Structure 1
Amino acid sequence: MDRLLRGEIPPGGKCDIKTLAGEAAVDRTAFYGTRPYSHLRVEFARRLQALQQAGDIPDPREAQITRLKTENAKLRERLDRSKQTIDELTDFRTQALARLAAQHEVITWLREAAAGKSRVRRLPDPRTKVIGSCS
Protein backbone atom coordinates (compact mmCIF):
# COMPACT_ATOMS: atom_id res chain seq x y z
CA MET A 1 0.00 0.00 0.00
CA ASP A 2 2.81 2.40 0.90
CA ARG A 3 4.62 1.78 -2.39
CA LEU A 4 1.49 2.52 -4.43
CA LEU A 5 0.81 5.67 -2.44
CA ARG A 6 4.41 6.83 -2.99
CA GLY A 7 3.86 6.53 -6.73
CA GLU A 8 5.70 3.27 -7.30
CA ILE A 9 3.09 1.90 -9.69
CA PRO A 10 3.89 -1.40 -11.43
CA PRO A 11 3.71 -1.47 -15.24
CA GLY A 12 0.12 -1.73 -16.40
CA GLY A 13 -1.22 -0.89 -12.94
CA LYS A 14 -2.89 2.06 -11.30
CA CYS A 15 -3.12 3.38 -7.78
CA ASP A 16 -6.24 1.37 -7.02
CA ILE A 17 -7.55 -1.68 -5.15
CA LYS A 18 -7.07 -4.02 -8.11
CA THR A 19 -3.35 -3.21 -8.31
CA LEU A 20 -3.06 -3.35 -4.52
CA ALA A 21 -4.57 -6.85 -4.54
CA GLY A 22 -2.26 -7.93 -7.35
CA GLU A 23 0.82 -6.60 -5.53
CA ALA A 24 -0.26 -8.36 -2.32
CA ALA A 25 -1.01 -11.57 -4.25
CA VAL A 26 -4.51 -11.60 -2.74
CA ASP A 27 -7.84 -11.99 -4.53
CA ARG A 28 -9.43 -8.58 -5.06
CA THR A 29 -12.73 -9.72 -3.57
CA ALA A 30 -10.96 -10.16 -0.21
CA PHE A 31 -10.95 -6.32 0.07
CA TYR A 32 -14.76 -6.00 -0.03
CA GLY A 33 -17.65 -6.67 2.34
CA THR A 34 -16.83 -8.50 5.57
CA ARG A 35 -13.81 -10.25 4.09
CA PRO A 36 -10.46 -10.27 5.90
CA TYR A 37 -8.85 -7.28 4.09
CA SER A 38 -11.82 -4.93 3.89
CA HIS A 39 -10.26 -2.66 6.55
CA LEU A 40 -7.23 -2.26 4.26
CA ARG A 41 -9.45 -1.11 1.41
CA VAL A 42 -10.97 1.55 3.67
CA GLU A 43 -7.51 2.62 4.88
CA PHE A 44 -6.17 2.72 1.32
CA ALA A 45 -9.11 4.83 0.12
CA ARG A 46 -8.72 7.21 3.10
CA ARG A 47 -5.00 7.72 2.54
CA LEU A 48 -5.40 8.09 -1.21
CA GLN A 49 -8.13 10.71 -0.73
CA ALA A 50 -5.95 12.60 1.77
CA LEU A 51 -3.09 12.68 -0.73
CA GLN A 52 -5.38 13.89 -3.52
CA GLN A 53 -6.82 16.64 -1.31
CA ALA A 54 -3.28 17.76 -0.52
CA GLY A 55 -2.64 18.03 -4.26
CA ASP A 56 -0.36 15.00 -4.44
CA ILE A 57 -1.50 12.40 -6.93
CA PRO A 58 0.59 9.23 -6.62
CA ASP A 59 -0.44 7.78 -9.97
CA PRO A 60 1.48 9.65 -12.74
CA ARG A 61 -1.24 8.84 -15.26
CA GLU A 62 -3.92 10.33 -13.02
CA ALA A 63 -1.78 13.42 -12.54
CA GLN A 64 -1.37 13.72 -16.31
CA ILE A 65 -5.11 13.29 -16.85
CA THR A 66 -5.83 16.00 -14.27
CA ARG A 67 -3.27 18.33 -15.87
CA LEU A 68 -4.67 17.71 -19.35
CA LYS A 69 -8.25 18.31 -18.20
CA THR A 70 -7.20 21.62 -16.65
CA GLU A 71 -5.33 22.61 -19.80
CA ASN A 72 -8.31 21.59 -21.93
CA ALA A 73 -10.65 23.76 -19.85
CA LYS A 74 -8.30 26.75 -20.21
CA LEU A 75 -8.09 26.25 -23.97
CA ARG A 76 -11.88 26.05 -24.25
CA GLU A 77 -12.19 29.33 -22.34
CA ARG A 78 -9.62 30.92 -24.64
CA LEU A 79 -11.47 29.63 -27.69
CA ASP A 80 -14.76 31.05 -26.37
CA ARG A 81 -13.12 34.45 -25.80
CA SER A 82 -11.65 34.34 -29.32
CA LYS A 83 -15.04 33.54 -30.82
CA GLN A 84 -16.61 36.42 -28.88
CA THR A 85 -13.91 38.82 -30.08
CA ILE A 86 -14.38 37.69 -33.68
CA ASP A 87 -18.14 38.24 -33.40
CA GLU A 88 -17.62 41.73 -31.95
CA LEU A 89 -15.14 42.65 -34.68
CA THR A 90 -17.45 41.32 -37.39
CA ASP A 91 -20.29 43.47 -36.04
CA PHE A 92 -17.98 46.50 -35.92
CA ARG A 93 -16.89 45.90 -39.52
CA THR A 94 -20.51 45.64 -40.67
CA GLN A 95 -21.40 48.90 -38.92
CA ALA A 96 -18.32 50.66 -40.32
CA LEU A 97 -19.15 49.56 -43.87
CA ALA A 98 -22.74 50.74 -43.46
CA ARG A 99 -21.54 54.13 -42.22
CA LEU A 100 -19.08 54.44 -45.10
CA ALA A 101 -21.81 53.62 -47.60
CA ALA A 102 -24.11 56.23 -46.05
CA GLN A 103 -21.35 58.85 -46.10
CA HIS A 104 -20.61 58.03 -49.74
CA GLU A 105 -24.27 58.56 -50.59
CA VAL A 106 -24.26 61.98 -48.87
CA ILE A 107 -21.07 63.02 -50.66
CA THR A 108 -22.49 61.93 -54.01
CA TRP A 109 -25.71 63.85 -53.34
CA LEU A 110 -23.78 66.98 -52.33
CA ARG A 111 -21.63 66.79 -55.47
CA GLU A 112 -24.71 66.50 -57.66
CA ALA A 113 -26.35 69.41 -55.87
CA ALA A 114 -23.19 71.51 -56.23
CA ALA A 115 -22.87 70.72 -59.95
CA GLY A 116 -26.10 72.57 -60.66
CA LYS A 117 -24.83 75.87 -59.23
CA SER A 118 -22.92 78.20 -61.56
CA ARG A 119 -20.81 79.79 -58.85
CA VAL A 120 -19.28 76.50 -57.79
CA ARG A 121 -16.26 75.37 -59.72
CA ARG A 122 -15.39 71.67 -59.78
CA LEU A 123 -11.84 70.69 -59.02
CA PRO A 124 -10.13 68.20 -61.31
CA ASP A 125 -10.49 64.58 -60.34
CA PRO A 126 -7.29 63.67 -58.40
CA ARG A 127 -7.31 60.24 -59.99
CA THR A 128 -6.72 61.59 -63.49
CA LYS A 129 -3.35 62.80 -64.61
CA VAL A 130 -3.06 66.48 -65.35
CA ILE A 131 -1.01 67.11 -68.48
CA GLY A 132 0.68 70.43 -68.18
CA SER A 133 3.35 72.45 -69.90
CA CYS A 134 5.84 72.08 -67.07
CA SER A 135 8.91 70.52 -68.59
Structure 2
Amino acid sequence: MGRISEDTRAHNEEAIRAAMDRLLRGDLPPGGKCDLRTLASEAGVPRTAFYAKKNRDGTARKGPYQHLAQEFERRLTALRDAGTVPDPRTVQIERLKEANATLKTRLEQRDAELETLKDLKRRALSQIAAQHLEIERLREQSTGLGNVRRIPPGRVGTAP
Protein backbone atom coordinates (compact mmCIF):
# COMPACT_ATOMS: atom_id res chain seq x y z
CA MET A 1 0.00 0.00 0.00
CA GLY A 2 1.42 3.36 -0.94
CA ARG A 3 1.56 6.52 1.08
CA ILE A 4 -1.66 8.45 1.54
CA SER A 5 -2.16 12.17 1.37
CA GLU A 6 -2.84 14.28 4.44
CA ASP A 7 -6.38 14.93 3.19
CA THR A 8 -7.03 11.19 2.89
CA ARG A 9 -5.50 10.57 6.30
CA ALA A 10 -7.68 13.31 7.87
CA HIS A 11 -10.77 11.90 6.13
CA ASN A 12 -9.92 8.38 7.33
CA GLU A 13 -9.35 9.57 10.90
CA GLU A 14 -12.70 11.36 10.81
CA ALA A 15 -14.39 8.19 9.52
CA ILE A 16 -12.64 6.10 12.21
CA ARG A 17 -13.75 8.49 14.98
CA ALA A 18 -17.35 8.46 13.69
CA ALA A 19 -17.33 4.66 13.50
CA MET A 20 -15.73 4.51 16.97
CA ASP A 21 -18.52 6.66 18.43
CA ARG A 22 -21.21 4.51 16.78
CA LEU A 23 -19.68 1.25 18.04
CA LEU A 24 -19.19 2.56 21.56
CA ARG A 25 -22.84 3.72 21.62
CA GLY A 26 -23.83 0.12 20.86
CA ASP A 27 -24.83 0.72 17.23
CA LEU A 28 -23.24 -2.45 15.87
CA PRO A 29 -23.66 -3.75 12.33
CA PRO A 30 -25.25 -7.18 11.88
CA GLY A 31 -22.66 -9.82 12.72
CA GLY A 32 -20.24 -7.21 14.05
CA LYS A 33 -18.67 -6.89 17.47
CA CYS A 34 -17.27 -3.96 19.37
CA ASP A 35 -13.69 -4.62 18.25
CA LEU A 36 -10.96 -3.31 15.95
CA ARG A 37 -12.01 -5.53 13.05
CA THR A 38 -15.51 -4.05 13.01
CA LEU A 39 -14.11 -0.56 13.57
CA ALA A 40 -11.86 -0.90 10.52
CA SER A 41 -14.68 -2.33 8.45
CA GLU A 42 -17.11 0.42 9.46
CA ALA A 43 -14.54 3.16 8.80
CA GLY A 44 -13.47 1.66 5.47
CA VAL A 45 -9.79 1.40 6.37
CA PRO A 46 -7.54 -1.68 6.47
CA ARG A 47 -7.35 -3.29 9.89
CA THR A 48 -3.56 -3.50 9.66
CA ALA A 49 -3.43 0.32 9.83
CA PHE A 50 -4.21 0.02 13.56
CA TYR A 51 -1.08 -2.02 14.31
CA ALA A 52 2.64 -1.26 14.45
CA LYS A 53 4.70 -1.83 11.31
CA LYS A 54 8.30 -2.81 10.68
CA ASN A 55 10.64 -0.83 8.54
CA ARG A 56 12.87 -2.58 6.03
CA ASP A 57 15.76 -2.36 8.43
CA GLY A 58 13.73 -4.19 11.11
CA THR A 59 12.94 -1.20 13.32
CA ALA A 60 9.37 -0.69 14.48
CA ARG A 61 7.22 2.26 13.59
CA LYS A 62 3.70 3.13 14.61
CA GLY A 63 0.79 2.25 12.37
CA PRO A 64 -0.92 5.24 10.79
CA TYR A 65 -4.03 4.87 12.99
CA GLN A 66 -2.49 3.04 15.95
CA HIS A 67 -3.22 6.00 18.23
CA LEU A 68 -6.91 5.70 17.34
CA ALA A 69 -6.85 1.96 18.09
CA GLN A 70 -5.37 2.74 21.50
CA GLU A 71 -8.01 5.42 22.09
CA PHE A 72 -10.76 2.94 21.10
CA GLU A 73 -9.42 0.29 23.48
CA ARG A 74 -9.08 2.86 26.27
CA ARG A 75 -12.66 4.11 25.81
CA LEU A 76 -13.99 0.55 25.56
CA THR A 77 -12.21 -0.42 28.78
CA ALA A 78 -13.58 2.68 30.53
CA LEU A 79 -17.12 1.78 29.44
CA ARG A 80 -16.72 -1.79 30.67
CA ASP A 81 -15.30 -0.60 33.99
CA ALA A 82 -18.30 1.72 34.36
CA GLY A 83 -20.62 -1.26 33.87
CA THR A 84 -21.74 -0.32 30.38
CA VAL A 85 -21.28 -2.93 27.70
CA PRO A 86 -21.70 -1.56 24.17
CA ASP A 87 -21.88 -5.03 22.64
CA PRO A 88 -25.38 -6.44 23.35
CA ARG A 89 -24.16 -9.91 22.42
CA THR A 90 -21.78 -9.87 25.37
CA VAL A 91 -24.67 -9.05 27.69
CA GLN A 92 -26.75 -11.77 26.07
CA ILE A 93 -23.93 -14.31 26.43
CA GLU A 94 -23.56 -13.48 30.13
CA ARG A 95 -27.33 -13.73 30.64
CA LEU A 96 -27.42 -17.08 28.85
CA LYS A 97 -24.49 -18.38 30.92
CA GLU A 98 -26.36 -17.45 34.12
CA ALA A 99 -29.56 -19.05 32.83
CA ASN A 100 -27.61 -22.17 31.86
CA ALA A 101 -26.08 -22.43 35.35
CA THR A 102 -29.52 -22.01 36.92
CA LEU A 103 -30.99 -24.69 34.68
CA LYS A 104 -28.13 -27.07 35.47
CA THR A 105 -28.76 -26.59 39.19
CA ARG A 106 -32.48 -27.19 38.74
CA LEU A 107 -31.77 -30.28 36.66
CA GLU A 108 -29.48 -31.69 39.34
CA GLN A 109 -32.16 -31.06 41.97
CA ARG A 110 -34.82 -32.71 39.82
CA ASP A 111 -32.57 -35.72 39.21
CA ALA A 112 -32.02 -36.11 42.96
CA GLU A 113 -35.76 -35.77 43.61
CA LEU A 114 -36.52 -38.28 40.89
CA GLU A 115 -34.10 -40.81 42.41
CA THR A 116 -35.76 -40.32 45.81
CA LEU A 117 -39.18 -40.87 44.29
CA LYS A 118 -38.02 -43.97 42.43
CA ASP A 119 -36.66 -45.40 45.68
CA LEU A 120 -39.95 -44.61 47.43
CA LYS A 121 -41.86 -46.30 44.63
CA ARG A 122 -39.67 -49.43 44.85
CA ARG A 123 -40.19 -49.64 48.61
CA ALA A 124 -43.95 -49.05 48.33
CA LEU A 125 -44.32 -51.76 45.64
CA SER A 126 -42.26 -54.14 47.76
CA GLN A 127 -44.49 -53.49 50.79
CA ILE A 128 -47.67 -53.89 48.73
CA ALA A 129 -46.39 -57.19 47.32
CA ALA A 130 -45.50 -58.42 50.82
CA GLN A 131 -48.92 -57.41 52.15
CA HIS A 132 -50.64 -59.11 49.21
CA LEU A 133 -48.71 -62.33 49.89
CA GLU A 134 -49.63 -62.13 53.58
CA ILE A 135 -53.33 -61.64 52.72
CA GLU A 136 -53.22 -64.61 50.34
CA ARG A 137 -51.52 -66.76 53.00
CA LEU A 138 -54.11 -65.80 55.61
CA ARG A 139 -56.98 -66.55 53.21
CA GLU A 140 -55.57 -69.99 52.48
CA GLN A 141 -55.03 -70.61 56.17
CA SER A 142 -58.59 -69.60 57.05
CA THR A 143 -60.18 -71.83 54.41
CA GLY A 144 -58.00 -74.76 55.42
CA LEU A 145 -59.05 -74.68 59.09
CA GLY A 146 -62.76 -74.87 58.47
CA ASN A 147 -63.65 -73.29 61.80
CA VAL A 148 -64.05 -69.78 60.41
CA ARG A 149 -67.56 -68.78 59.47
CA ARG A 150 -68.50 -66.02 57.21
CA ILE A 151 -70.76 -63.36 58.62
CA PRO A 152 -73.64 -62.54 56.33
CA PRO A 153 -73.71 -58.97 55.15
CA GLY A 154 -75.94 -56.73 57.22
CA ARG A 155 -79.09 -55.17 55.95
CA VAL A 156 -78.88 -51.61 54.87
CA GLY A 157 -80.44 -49.12 57.25
CA THR A 158 -80.68 -51.36 60.33
CA ALA A 159 -78.72 -50.99 63.48
CA PRO A 160 -76.87 -54.00 64.94
What is the TM-score of this pair, normalised by structure 2? Answer: 0.60
Q: Does 1:67 align with 2:92?
A: no
Please tell me the residue identity of whatever aligns with 1:101.
Answer: A
Please tell me the residue identity of whatever aligns with 2:93.
Answer: I
Question: 1: CA distance between counterparts of 2:74 and 2:24?
Answer: 11
Question: Structure 1 vs Structure 2: percent identity of aligned residues?
Answer: 55
Q: 1:91 aligns with which of 119, 127, 133?
A: 119
Please tell me the residue identity of whatever aligns with 2:89.
Answer: R
In the TM superposition, residue 123 of structure 1 has moved relative to its aligned partner by 5.0
- The match for 1:14 is 33
In the TM superposition, residue 106 of structure 1 has moved relative to its aligned partner by 1.8
Q: What are the Cα deviations for residues 44-97 of structure 1, in whole angstroms up to 9, with x where unaligned?
A: 334334433544221223323332333233333333332332232122111110
- The match for 1:32 is 51
Do the aligned partners of residues 104 and 55 (structure 1) sit closer, same or farther apart at CA in structure 2, a change above 3 Å counting?
farther
Question: 2: CA distance between counterparts of 1:77 and 1:46?
Answer: 38
- The match for 1:82 is 110
Do the aligned partners of residues 110 and 54 (structure 1) sit closer, same or farther apart at CA in structure 2, a change above 3 Å counting?
farther
Show structure 1 runs of 5+ residues with no match.
Answer: 125-129
Question: 2: CA distance between counterparts of 1:123 and 1:83?
Answer: 51
Question: Once superposed, what is the RMSD of the aligned Cα atoms?
Answer: 3.1
Q: Does 1:120 align with 2:139?
A: no
Do the aligned partners of residues 123 and 31 (structure 1) sit closer, same or farther apart at CA in structure 2, a change above 3 Å counting?
farther
Larger deviation, residues 88-97 vs 55-64? 55-64
Question: 1: CA distance between counterparts of 2:133 and 2:151?
Answer: 19
In the TM superposition, residue 118 of structure 1 has moved relative to its aligned partner by 4.7
Count of residue pairs brought into register by the alignment: 128
What is the TM-score of this pair, normalised by structure 1? Answer: 0.69
Q: Does 1:5 align with 2:5?
A: no
